[in-house]
Homo-oligomer: A and B are copies of this chain.
């Protein structure tokens, strides 16, 4: 079966996010003074072949091995079966 998988990788709380700070400052300069905090993460959209039994384990293994750095990042994911029309 074909799955659409979305993996969200975000920095753990407490880990400095210089890119987020830079964006926050830029937003302030543009006049958006109400912005108090910005954190930047990644979203990865994967299309993959897998079976219902293996999809979860495969995605977790991909995250642990490559997509996320478990020392400083958390991840979450959603899987959705692609129904061919």
Q: Which residues of A contact B (CB under 8 A)?
A: 2, 8, 10, 20, 23, 26-27, 30, 32, 34-50, 58, 61-62, 65-67
Contact assessment for A42 and B40 in the assembled complex, using a CB-CB cutoff below 8 Å: yes
Contact assessment for A44 and B40 in the assembled complex, using a CB-CB cutoff below 8 Å: yes
Contacts of A47 in B (CB 8 A): 35-37
Q: How near does chain B come to A35, taking the closest CB pair, in angstroms? A: 5
Contacts of A61 in B (CB 8 A): 32
- Residue among A20, A26, A39, A43 facing the most chain B CB atoms (10 A cut-off): A43
Contact assessment for A23 and B44 in the assembled complex, using a CB-CB cutoff below 8 Å: yes
**In the complex, what residue of chain B is closest to A40 when comparing beta carbons?**
B44
